[in-house]
Amino acid sequence: METEFIFFSGKGGVGKTSMACATAVHYAEAGRRTLIVTTDPAANLADVFEQPIGHHITPLAGIDNLWAMEIDPDRATEEYKERALAPLRAAFPPEMVAVIDEQMSGPCTAEVAAFDRFTDFLVLERAADRPVQFDVVIFDTAPTGHTIRLLELPAEWSQSISAAEQGSGQTCIGPAAAIQEAKHKYERALAQLRDGEHTRFIFVLHPEAIALHETARAIGELRKLDIQTYELIVNGIIPPAETANELMAARAAMQAGYLQRIESELPYPTRRMFLLDGEIKGLDRLRGVAGLLSGETETLPRQATGGNGSGDLEAFHLPSPQDVLPRVTPDGHSRTLFFAGKGGVGKTVASCVTAVWLARQGYRTLLLTTDPAAHLGDVLGEPVGNEPAPLAELLSLWAAKIDPKKTADAYKKRILDDARERGRPEASIRVMAEELDSPCTEEIAAFDRFIEYASEGEWDAIVFDTAPTGHTLRLLELPVEWSKQLDVKVFSSVDTAVADDMAKQRFAGVIDMMRDPERSTFAFVMYPEATPIIEAYRASQELATLEIPTGLVVANLVIPPEQANTPFTRARRAMQERYLAEIQERFAVPVLTLPLLPREVTGLEMLAELGKQMYPEAVVA
């Protein structure tokens, strides 16, 4: 029997990991040897299974036939570099190998290294890694926009390697000759992705507009790669028995329309999963969810809550305006606010609420996103383009979506035009063009564009709706890493000293701004459940290693205490109360809250009303 490959994908925060883990449990309990692997830089398989996993194939305790692995990007990068450099050590002087090693130390290598490790499982290479031959391999992927980029890599890297062979023989991921074997592996990986008999893509989505659009867009991108086999799991549906509650009834009515649209616009095999009264963690709970997904069971026992959901939060206190406003408003100089967190927790809503609030205070405000899955326009209720433009109904607010592909094209053109103006030899320009044609240039270009806006001094406030946590951290680390790479003269025929100095100054200024709490605030958005809290806390600790402090936390989707009036809503509210107290204890910064609402957040009027709740007792202009 050939191995079956199952990919779980979808917008962040829709329950991909929970559904992937429950599916893995289902197959393992059915006697099939199952491996679940995550390629998400913000991995949380260990949190869901409640046992350590890490960067190696780990048999899970308490269940037969199930193994798991969390691909660690840093370790994958070191392993990849060593495999590429090992054959060169015997053939070239140490000085030359050291230069190549430095060339491969940039952020570009990290992405392809993680993908290289991922393809090992897809094409079943390096069998010594594996304790068994697996019947099923499940991939819990990163959020959709980044997953698409990951899946595009086999075709793009094959093109990059082929081009390098015709040119300098060098790519940003190492010498073309040394990685020629990888080209064939990536081609086989893409062939496996296209094999509809043995490979399936399962999209998890909530019955909401943004998740529906994102799923349709992602399927369209996969079709371009000739990947055709799809299924859906519609998650988070309000149980019919809970519509006696006013809030749940309103949300169920909203969901009903989207369930009809999903059925008509995404005509693929579909399963539905009701919203549960508690989290999906631990093998017992995963077994129950697996039963619901397979149709073997209809309900799960109610989870113990450890509270009554009354809203009596002795350990949690809403912050005073005096604690919050100095972290949000400009004070004699511009302020940049970064909203980060696990995908799907509401970063875009929190960013838009804050940007609208600042603009209504009279501050000239720019709202930006670099998230490939950006939906600023959906939340604002107005279209958002690649260049800053004022909103028709709020002239103090400008918004822009930094389109990765368009920005990368402009970035490449600018660098090559500059090289020509400086009289660089045409051979060197060809080498630079090859280097810039690598897929990771998009990420570098997007951050470079943000730096341009941050350096202009035109705005009182810049609100930055960032990509999901793991990728956000890699993006934020880029100026530090890239400025180091500027010291490495990749091409000896190109004198880049002046450009290096200018770039270093730009990067250094932005890094200083990020580290200065008087000019910059990092806010983590999360809903009050274990996984997004742990993920945000890990991210905040990583930021601390870069000397970047966390300034605010936004807890989203909080059930208002007056709506906790049924056993189901009381159970969920009690769970949230415990986690709100944990958030405050872990982060030790002001914690703002946004309520669970009867419908989706869209339009300036709704954003303005939420601003009054998020930033209370402030005088709105």
Going 402 to 408 to 412 to 413, the CA torsion angle's sign is: negative
Q: Residue 389: give its domain's CATH number.
A: 3.40.50.300
d(CA 487, CA 500): 7
In a domain, 340, yes or no: yes
Contact between residue 271 and residue 205 where contact means Cβ atoms under 8 Å apart: no
Q: Is the pLDDT of residue 313 over 50?
A: no
d(CA 256, CA 248): 12
- Residues 482 and 610 occupy one common structural domain: yes
- Average pLDDT of span 171-181: 52
The pLDDT tens digits of the residues spanning 178-187 come to: 455 666 777 7
Instruction: Say what the pLDDT of residue 504 is.
Output: 59
Q: Is the pLDDT of residue 473 over 70?
A: no
The pLDDT tens digits of the residues spanning 119-146 come to: 788 776 544 455 568 999 999 875 444 5
- Average pLDDT of span 92-113: 67
Of 228 and 470, more confident: 228
Cβ neighbours of residue 398 under 8 Å, at least 6 residues apart? 364, 365, 366, 367, 388, 389, 390, 391, 459
Give 113's pLDDT tier (boundaries 50, 70, 90).
confident
- Residues 230 and 342 occupy one common structural domain: no
The DSSP secondary-structure symbol of 465 reads E
Give 148's pLDDT tier (boundaries 50, 70, 90).
low
Contact between residue 425 and residue 433 where contact means Cβ atoms under 8 Å apart: no
Give 193's pLDDT tier (boundaries 50, 70, 90).
confident
d(CA 621, CA 614): 16
Q: Looking at the chain, how many residues does it have? A: 621
The DSSP secondary-structure symbol of 91 reads T
- Residues 332 and 213 occupy one common structural domain: no
- Residues 229 and 370 occupy one common structural domain: no
Quick one: what percent of the chain has pLDDT higher than 70? 76
Give 2's pLDDT tier (boundaries 50, 70, 90).
confident
SS3 399: strand
Q: Is the pLDDT of residue 606 over 90?
A: yes
Cβ-count burial 221-257 (b if 16+ within 10 Å, e if not) = bbeeeebebbebbbbbbbeeebbebebbeebbebbee
In a domain, 548, yes or no: yes
d(CA 239, CA 261): 19
State CA 63 to chain mean position distance.
Answer: 30
d(CA 390, CA 396): 7
d(CA 6, CA 364): 47
The DSSP secondary-structure symbol of 339 reads E
Contact between residue 391 and residue 382 where contact means Cβ atoms under 8 Å apart: yes
Instruction: Say what the pLDDT of residue 100 is.
Output: 67
Q: Which of 215, 234, 253 is the last residue of a domain?
A: 234
Least confidently predicted of 275-289, 315-329, 514-528, 576-590? 315-329
d(CA 222, CA 216): 10
- Residues 213 and 327 occupy one common structural domain: no
Give 485's pLDDT tier (boundaries 50, 70, 90).
very low
- Residues 202 and 340 occupy one common structural domain: no
Q: Is the pLDDT of residue 249 over 70?
A: yes
Nearest to 540 by CA among 141, 111, 42: 42
Instruction: Say what the pLDDT of residue 8 is.
Output: 92
d(CA 42, CA 342): 8
Give 507's pLDDT tier (boundaries 50, 70, 90).
low
- Average pLDDT of span 480-485: 48
Nearest to 87 by CA among 174, 183, 178, 173: 178
Nearest to 376 by CA among 387, 364, 363, 367: 367
In a domain, 214, yes or no: yes
- Residues 344 and 220 occupy one common structural domain: no
The pLDDT tens digits of the residues spanning 527-575 come to: 998 878 888 898 898 888 888 899 999 999 999 999 999 999 999 999 9
- Average pLDDT of span 369-390: 83
In a domain, 428, yes or no: no
Number of H helices, E strands in the chain: 21, 18
Instruction: Count how many domains the chain has.
Output: 2
The pLDDT tens digits of the residues spanning 398-456 come to: 999 888 778 888 888 887 887 788 777 777 677 667 667 665 677 677 777 887 888 77
d(CA 409, CA 414): 9
- Residues 406 and 502 occupy one common structural domain: yes
In a domain, 270, yes or no: no
- Residues 199 and 325 occupy one common structural domain: no
Q: Is the pLDDT of residue 31 over 50?
A: yes
Q: Which of 234, 251, 278 is the last residue of a domain?
A: 234
Least confidently predicted of 83-92, 280-289, 300-309, 552-561? 300-309
In a domain, 263, yes or no: no
Q: Is the pTM of this model over 0.75?
A: yes
Which residue range forms the structural domain that includes residue 498? 321-350+360-410+442-614
- Give 289's Cβ-side CA count (13 Å radius): 31
Q: Which of 171, 199, 234 is the last residue of a domain?
A: 234
Other beta carbons within 10 angstroms of residue 608's beta carbon come to 16
- Residues 346 and 218 occupy one common structural domain: no
Q: What are phi and psi of 266, to 5 degrees?
A: -125, 75
d(CA 215, CA 67): 28
In a domain, 269, yes or no: no
In a domain, 619, yes or no: no
Contacts made by residues 312-317, CB under 8 angstroms, sequence distance 24+ = 313/577, 313/580, 313/581, 315/581, 315/584, 315/585, 316/577, 316/580, 316/581, 316/584, 316/591, 317/584
**How does the average pLDDT of the chain come out, rounded?**
80
